[in-house]
Amino acid sequence: MIVIVKQGATKNSIEELKQELRQKGFDIHESKGTTTTILGLVGDTSSLTEDELLTYDAVEAVRRIREPYKLANRNVHPQDTVVEVCGRKIGGGNFQVIAGPCSIESEEQITEVAKDVCASGAGFLRGGAFKPRTSPYSFQGLHGDGLKLLLEAKKATGLPVVTEIMSAAHLDLFEDVDVIQVGARNMQNFELLKVLGKTNKPILLKRGLANTLDELLMSAEYIMAGGNENVILCERGIRTFETSTRNTLDISAIPMLRKKTHLPIIVDPSHAAGIRHMVEPLSMAAIAVGADGLMIEVHNNPSKALCDGPQSLTPQAFDDLMKKINKTVAFFQGN
Ligand code: PEP
Ligand code: MN
């Protein structure tokens, strides 16, 4: 349920209203726009009537939120959320590119790629240390040692780092990580989401291979309900009947999510297509439909990559792509 506050309502009358609602057991999410203030009531509002709320001086109107996601809902929070990491903003007109290898393989590899993508203008470095592989016989990542190498690459370049967590048991290892990624396969690992909701780390939440947008938003809600509202959503392609690409990029997810939620939305064209030559056109499409950023896999030697070589760009190809990304962002998003 949301309460729209009257324009010109006194501070006292708003405070009184908030206090009474808190006493009734609701958490209140206040969203102040330039002209309108909205109070989002989180909790079981079934016993609360519209008429009861309208008796308060400060109340202009009351609306029930039909969707099961409340904190992630744009109706509760009309302004775009801007997530800020190490002084870099994402969302609300701030576009970011996250680039790096699928997995961290060696000090030389991650540092070399980090320096290259930094020079090309990427805002964040990615690299997996815990890899969710379909086969237990495939390279699983360097785990804690990989995270150390990633942090060394951060030191060498100044790029904030994004890396995937697969189990809450590993959380201590992520203390110096800037953005924690929840991969597609863990989007509905609710126990993991609850633990991440109790941290103060920005979370990059990827859409599951076969999950609806509302399910993605409910997973974001799990994190936000714990108190952590720094969630970035990522469309990374979904399973369809098509077999010529690894997944099918759901391009319509971006404008639809934009309507449903205030959270930043980025696109991962690398995992969506699984094929190098499609990364550029899908990146352009993502920008055109209003994505807040891109996550792109880059490897210094894609043919030797231990994971996802066929979809990884060389540093040179990434450099060329960054020039096109910058122009396209300026054209479509005016910055
Ligand atoms: C990744 O980004 O490394 C990854 C495994 O992606 P996804 O979870 O989208 O498959
Ligand atoms: Mn990958």
262, 79 Cβ separation under 8 angstroms = yes
Q: Look at residues 175, 145, 146, 179 and name the one whose alpha carbon lies nearest to residue 161.
A: 179
Q: Which amino acid is at 55?
A: T
pLDDT given for residue 43 in this prediction? 86
**What ligand 1 atom has the least distance to the C-alpha of 236?**
9
227 backbone φψ class: left, alpha, beta (φ>0; ψ -120 to 50):
left
Distance 271 CA to ligand 2 centre (A): 6
pLDDT given for residue 325 in this prediction? 98
Distance 307 CA to ligand 2 centre (A): 6
Helix 107-120 / helix 143-157 crossing angle, nearest 10 deg: 40
**Which ligand gives the minimal distance to the CA of 183?**
1
Q: Which amino acid is at 271?
A: H
**Which ligand gives the minimal distance to the CA of 312?**
2
- The residue to mutate among 103, 166, 181, 307, having the most atoms of ligand 1 within 8 angstroms of its beta carbon, is 181
Q: Give the pLDDT confidence of 193-208 residue by residue, as tens digits.
A: 999 999 999 999 999 9
Least confident of 48-57, 239-248, 311-320: 48-57
Task: Average the pLDDT over 250-272 and give the result.
Answer: 98
Ligand 1 near 132 CB (within 6 A) = yes
Distance 205 CA to ligand 1 centre (A): 10
Ligand 1 near 246 CB (within 6 A) = no
3-state secondary structure of 205: strand
Q: How far is CA 42 from the centre of its chain?
A: 22
Rg (the chain; Cα; Å): 21
- The residue to mutate among 206, 207, 267, having the most atoms of ligand 1 within 8 angstroms of its beta carbon, is 206
How far is it, in rounded angstroms, from Cα 40 to Cα 26? 9
Q: Give the pLDDT confidence of 68-126 residue by residue, as tens digits.
A: 999 999 999 999 999 999 999 999 999 999 999 999 999 999 999 999 999 999 999 99
DSSP type of residue 24:
T
Q: How sure is the predictor about 321, in pLDDT bands with cuts at 50, 70 and 90?
A: very high
**What ligand 1 atom has the least distance to the C-alpha of 184?**
8
- Given a cut of 70, whether residue 335 has pLDDT beyond it is no
- Given a cut of 70, whether residue 10 has pLDDT beyond it is yes
HSE, CB side, 13 Å, CA atoms: give it for residue 146.
22
Task: Average the pLDDT over 11-18 and give the result.
Answer: 94
HSE, CB side, 13 Å, CA atoms: give it for residue 226.
22
Residue 161's alpha-carbon distances to 35, 179, 194, 229, 256, in angstroms, are 37, 6, 22, 19, 28
Beta strands in the chain (DSSP E): 2-5, 27-32, 37-42, 59-63, 83-85, 88-90, 96-100, 124-126, 161-165, 179-182, 203-206, 231-235, 265-267, 293-297
3-state secondary structure of 8: coil
Q: Give the pLDDT confidence of 268-280 residue by residue, as tens digits.
A: 999 999 999 999 9
Least confident of 27-36, 59-68, 260-269, 298-307: 27-36
Task: Average the pLDDT over 246-259 and give the result.
Answer: 98
HSE, CB side, 13 Å, CA atoms: give it for residue 214.
4
64, 58 Cβ separation under 8 angstroms = no
Ligand 1 near 271 CB (within 6 A) = yes
Residue 108's alpha-carbon distances to 111, 114, 149, in angstroms, are 5, 10, 9
3-state secondary structure of 124: strand
Which pTM value belongs to this model?
0.96
Ligand 1 near 70 CB (within 6 A) = no
- Given a cut of 60, whether residue 67 has pLDDT beyond it is yes
Closest-CA residue, ligand 1 atom 4, reads 183
pLDDT given for residue 246 in this prediction? 97
**Please, which residues have CB less than 5 A from ligand 2, an ion?**
102, 308
Distance 86 CA to ligand 1 centre (A): 23
Closest-CA residue, ligand 1 atom 6, reads 183
Longest Cα–Cα distance of the chain, Å, equals 69
pLDDT given for residue 310 in this prediction? 98
pLDDT given for residue 334 in this prediction? 85
Ligand 1 near 184 CB (within 6 A) = yes
3-state secondary structure of 296: strand
**Which ligand gives the minimal distance to the CA of 268?**
1
How many helices (H) and strands (E) the chain has is answered by 10, 14
Task: Average the pLDDT over 321-334 and give the result.
Answer: 96
State the chain's mean pLDDT as an integer.
Answer: 96
pLDDT given for residue 34 in this prediction? 84
Residue 81's alpha-carbon distances to 73, 100, 127, 178, 227, in angstroms, are 11, 25, 25, 18, 15
